[in-house]
Amino acid sequence: MDANSPVSPGQPAGSFVAAGRGPRLLGGGGTGATVVSSVSTIVVLGILVAIILLAPGARAVEHAFFSPTDMWQSFIGNPRKGYYSVGAAIWLNIRMFLVAEVLILALALLVALIRQSASPALFPIRILATGYVDFFRGVPLILVIFALGFGVPALSLPVASSQPDVVYGVAALVLSYCAYVSEVYRAGLNSVHQSQVAAARSLGLSKSTALRYVVLPQAVRNIIPPLLNDFISLQKDTALVGTLGVIEANKAASIYSETVYNFSSFTVAAILFLILTIPLARFTDRLIERDRRRRLAGGNR
């Protein structure tokens, strides 16, 4: 890089941010680049809106998907007329997401630690853990939901077969996402250099203590962005639990659509999911950028 290139205070030398090539939304080249980016964005959006509005079926699509009356009615609901509130049903999606997230974080870490273990006594368990990860990463989530939601009640087991449908849905989410998140954990554990473990052991720490206080903190810090990306997908996939008959946002929207023959309820559900996922996505981007700057700063010391 040119030695005369402007470097912002606090930015490490060699940083893309310092060279005006940072990941800013409207460009990183100063006021001129921001203006050009803004104008080009407005032009592109204007063309897209014009194409939609001038299409021959624009009015029919507007009535079917963006009817203000139907959007409001689906949001508030009216059980007397046979449909539920999409706005109230989204809270079930949120609750399923929160419960599943806590369980996934704990169980996926356990699976990752089992797979990372080198103990001969745990060899059979490692084989089972590997098979579990391969199986649930390969089977579509919707099939796991069907298998648990319809298969477990058919077994007529004393306790397991008498649970509400939402329990089977959350269990399917946990089983499927644990397989993915455990691999994220493993990547984080492998990202910590062995010299860190050796240094901890040389100070007298046991393997478990070194893992708890040295390896895990660094591993978790490295995998927070990909973990958040997985949980964005998890929030959306709670809608699949509606296939079991659970009245969550997508199911409530479907019932409204089948009742009044209008799809505006799906637009409401989509907006609600966007309200939930976009802030988490922007937070993830912020963490990724902060981690990138930290690594650049460390590499230029």
What are the tens digits of pLDDT across the range 28-50? 556 777 788 888 889 998 898 88
Measuring CA to CA, which residue among 75, 95, 79 is closest to residue 87?
A: 75
Q: Where are the alpha helices (DSSP H) in the chain?
A: 31-54, 58-65, 68-76, 86-116, 123-138, 141-146, 152-154, 165-191, 194-202, 207-210, 216-237, 249-260, 264-299
What is the average pLDDT across 256-276?
Answer: 93
Confidence at 210, pLDDT banded by 50, 70, 90: confident
The answer to whether residue 18 scores a pLDDT higher than 70 is: no
Residue 14 has pLDDT above 70, yes or no: no
Residue-wise DSSP of 174-195 = HHHHHHHHHHHHHHHHHHS-HH
Q: What global pTM score does this model have?
A: 0.80
Distance CA 131, CA 128 (A): 5
pLDDT more than 90, % of the chain: 49
**pLDDT of amino acid 203:** 80
Q: Does residue 117 or residue 291 have the better pLDDT?
A: 117
Mean predicted confidence (pLDDT) in 64-86: 91
Over 70: is that where the pLDDT of 11 sits? no
Instruction: Give the C-alpha separation, 76 to 219, whole Å.
Output: 44
Please give the pLDDT value at position 17: 46
CB 257 within 8 A of CB 263: yes
Cα 154 to Cα 106: distance, rounded to the nearest angstrom: 29
d(CA 169, CA 250): 14
Mean pLDDT (the chain) is 85
Count of CA atoms in the C-beta half-sphere (13 A) of 77: 19
Region 201-229: what's the mean pLDDT? 82
Going by C-alpha positions, the residue among 139, 83, 81, 131 that lies closest to residue 111 is: 131
Decide if pLDDT at 22 tops 70: no
- Which residues, other chains included, contact 293 with Cβ-Cβ below 8 Å and sequence gap of 6+? 12, 15, 17
Closest CA to 187 of 155, 146, 229, 149: 229
pLDDT band at 225 (very low <50, low <70, confident <90, very high): confident
User: What is the reported pLDDT for 256?
Assistant: 94
* H helix intervals, 117-215: 123-138, 141-146, 152-154, 165-191, 194-202, 207-210
Q: Note the pLDDT tens digit of each residue in 157-193.
A: 998 999 999 999 999 999 999 999 999 999 888 888 7
**pLDDT score at 258:** 92
Residue 128 pLDDT > 50:
yes
Is residue 211 over pLDDT 90? no
Cα pseudo-dihedral 287, 44, 17, 20, rounded to 10 = -170
Cβ-contact 185, 108 below 8 angstroms:
yes
Q: What does the pLDDT look like over 237-252, one tens digit per residue?
A: 999 999 999 999 999 9
Range in 2-11, 102-111, 194-203 with the lowest mean pLDDT: 2-11
Which tokens hold the place of 214?
């040295």
Please give the average per-residue pLDDT across 128-132, as a whole number.
95
pLDDT of amino acid 5: 46
- Is residue 82 predicted with pLDDT exceeding 90? no
Average pLDDT of the residues in 115-123: 86
Phi-psi region of 66 (alpha: psi -120 to 50; beta: other; left: phi over 0): alpha
Residue 142 has pLDDT above 70, yes or no: yes
